[in-house]
């Protein structure tokens, strides 16, 4: 995810005007210190990405049909890692141990973690428990029965980025938490269903927002999805709220994430002193699901589908 506006958006409905003051997840935490990463691969230096495809007037890269293959491989690895950590989520487990397993799996696959070293971040995942909205730092704290957590993994395979996250439960889930997780999952799917060439990013945001608010929950404004491909975070800012027909027009060959964060209470967030961890201001529970997708003539092609069909926790 990415913070939608550098002014910390603070619940304002004003969309991020441009990627230079972008909605790139991670930017919020580093606001004022680090510029947008742009077409620089933080792991390996400048990329020859300009040679690839073309840019729309909104600065969104249009990839070629053969590029979907590269994204499929990266997306499948990230999704498989999320499948494989499911048995590690239980009461008494630490989020640090889950992250260590993820780091080992990335290495085992001969891939690279996109998050280790990203703007100083030191882990192979973000693990966000209960009222943590996103960018939770794995550590020694033990999970308790009933905790809900998002695990977010981004890997680089042959230069392609696969970025996905999903929710897990330690032990038995409570009724309210279960509703939140279900609505958040279904909201992501509503957003994905809105992806069609000729429609707009506002249509995606609207589909998500309308669904979430109909269930009396709120959409986080302070972070959003992002373009990706040969880079981690690129235009556009994929807002999870909006008005139909607004924003850039979707075209075949666009690659981006959709990653709504939904709160049981109010949408406002704050970032803790560690400069990463984003929490709900009202301490209400928060959930998130994320897929990386590519636009085809038919709609969204999901790069990060779970090989084991375990994207949703109650299916696993």
Strands 148-157 vs 160-169: parallel, antiparallel or unpaired:
antiparallel
Q: Which does 135 bind (CB under 5 to 8 A by kind): Co ion, ligand MF3, none?
A: ligand MF3
Q: Which is nearer to ligand MF3, 173 or 234 (CB)?
A: 234
Q: Which does 26 bind (CB under 5 to 8 A by kind): Co ion, ligand MF3, none?
A: ligand MF3
CB of 286 to ligand MF3, least distance (A): 14
Cis status, amide bond into 236, omega within 30 of 0: yes
Backbone angles phi, psi at 88, to 5 degrees: -90, -5
| Binding string, residues 121-150; x marks residues near ligand MF3 by CB under 6 A | x----x--------x---------------
Q: Assign residue 247 a region: left if phi > 0, alpha if psi is -120 to 50, beta otherwise?
A: left
CB of 35 to Co ion, least distance (A): 19
Q: Which does 200 bind (CB under 5 to 8 A by kind): Co ion, ligand MF3, none?
A: none
CA nearest neighbour of 135 among 239, 32, 271: 271
> What is the rounded distance in angstroms from the CA atom of residue 165 to the CA atom of residue 167?
7
C-beta separation of 263 from 213 below 8 A: no
DSSP structure class, residue 199: S
CB of 121 to Co ion, least distance (A): 12
Strands 286-288 vs 234-238: parallel, antiparallel or unpaired:
unpaired
Instruction: Report H helices in the chain.
Output: 27-30, 67-84, 95-108, 175-193, 201-214
Q: Which does 28 bind (CB under 5 to 8 A by kind): ligand MF3, Co ion, none?
A: none
Q: Which is nearer to ligand MF3, 74 or 126 (CB)?
A: 126
Q: Which does 243 bind (CB under 5 to 8 A by kind): Co ion, ligand MF3, none?
A: none
Per CB under 6 A, 160 contacts ligand MF3 = no
Interface residue list for ligand MF3 (CB under 6 A):
1-2, 25-26, 115, 118-119, 121, 126, 135, 152, 154, 163, 257, 259, 290
Interface residue list for Co ion (CB under 5 A):
152, 163, 165, 257, 290
């Amino acid at each position: 995810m990415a913070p939608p506006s550098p002014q910390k958006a603070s619940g304002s409905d004003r969309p991020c005007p441009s990627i230079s003051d972008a909605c790139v997840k991670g930017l919020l935490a580093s606001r004022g210190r680090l510029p947008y990463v742009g077409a620089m691969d933080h792991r390996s230096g400048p990329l020859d990405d300009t040679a690839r495809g073309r840019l729309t007037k909104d600065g969104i890269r249009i990839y070629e049909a053969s590029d979907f293959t590269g994204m499929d491989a990266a997306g499948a690895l990230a999704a498989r890692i999320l499948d494989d950590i499911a048995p590690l989520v239980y009461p008494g487990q630490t989020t640090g141990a889950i992250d260590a397993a993820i780091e080992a799996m990335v290495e085992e696959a001969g891939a690279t973690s996109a998050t280790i070293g990203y703007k100083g971040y030191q882990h192979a995942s973000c693990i966000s428990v209960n009222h943590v909205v996103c960018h939770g730092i794995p550590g020694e704290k033990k999970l308790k029965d009933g905790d809900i957590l998002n695990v977010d993994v981004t890997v680089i395979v042959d230069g392609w980025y696969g970025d996905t996250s999903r929710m897990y439960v330690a032990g038995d889930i409570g009724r309210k938490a279960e509703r939140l997780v279900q609505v958040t999952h279904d909201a992501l799917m509503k957003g994905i269903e809105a992806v069609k060439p000729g429609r707009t990013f506002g249509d995606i945001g609207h589909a998500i927002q309308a669904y979430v608010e109909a269930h009396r929950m709120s959409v986080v404004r302070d972070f959003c999805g992002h373009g990706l491909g040969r880079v981690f975070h690129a235009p556009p800012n994929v807002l999870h709220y909006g008005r139909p027909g607004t924003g850039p027009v979707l075209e075949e060959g666009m690659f981006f994430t959709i990653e709504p964060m939904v709160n049981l209470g109010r949408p406002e967030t704050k970032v803790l002193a560690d400069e990463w961890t984003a929490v709900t201001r009202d301490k209400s529970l928060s959930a998130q699901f994320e897929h990386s997708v590519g636009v085809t003539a038919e709609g969204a092609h999901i790069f990060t589908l779970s090989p084991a069909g375990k994207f949703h926790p109650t299916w696993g």
